[in-house]
């Protein structure tokens, strides 16, 4: 329910993170995490990839409707690839946001219905973990690492706190 008329149309559309190499990151987000590529825009020096779980089938719409539809929903991930980082041996990599200097952003989180099954699948796919279900005190959540080292929290849909 909108809190005020001035903000009633607002939606939390997307989160943007930079990636070093789309050839590595797209398979991670699309195959390992199962997102759909909703839009890809080559901006010259960089390319933007908009991904999301395509609950409404917007990936099948004509291009113009698809672009509009992805701005009118929530849960979109924007990956920015600055061309050249993937082959630049002097590129230092991006900050995960979880260490100084650079602390700020923490993680993105994916809800899954069966977290034991999901984590077993990540293990079988060779995905690196920051925190397995069995590590530490919080045994109901896990953290995996994306190809740039960003933390991706895995949360059970049945969780109640």
Binding site for Zn(2+): residue ranges?
78, 107, 153
Closer CB to its own copies, residue 117 or residue 135? Answer: 117
Can the peptide bond before residue 101 be classed as cis, meaning omega within 30 degrees of 0? Answer: yes
- Distance in Å, CB of 94 to its own copies, minimum: 4
- Rounded-to-integer distance, Cα 92 and Cα 116, Å: 34
From the annotation, which residues make up the binding site? Answer: 78, 107, 153
List residues with catalytic annotation: 153
Q: Collapsing DSSP states into helix, strand and coil, what is residue 128?
A: coil
Distance (Å) of CA 71 to CA 8, 33, 76, 97: 16, 21, 9, 26
């Amino acid at each position: 329910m909108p809190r005020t008329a001035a903000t009633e149309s607002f939606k939390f559309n997307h989160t943007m993170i930079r990636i070093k190499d789309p050839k590595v990151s797209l398979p991670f987000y699309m195959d390992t995490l199962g997102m759909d590529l909703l839009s890809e825009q080559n901006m010259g020096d960089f390319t933007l990839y908009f991904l999301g779980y395509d609950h409404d089938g917007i990936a099948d719409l004509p291009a113009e409707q698809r672009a509009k539809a992805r701005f009118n929903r929530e849960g979109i991930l924007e990956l920015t690839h600055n061309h050249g980082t993937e082959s630049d041996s002097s590129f230092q990599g991006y900050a995960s946001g979880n260490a100084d200097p650079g602390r700020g952003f923490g993680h993105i989180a994916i809800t899954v219905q069966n977290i034991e099954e999901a984590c077993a699948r990540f293990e079988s796919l060779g995905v690196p973990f920051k925190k397995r279900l069995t590590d530490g005190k919080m045994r109901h959540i896990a953290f995996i690492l994306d190809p740039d080292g960003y933390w991706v929290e895995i949360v059970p849909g049945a969780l109640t706190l």
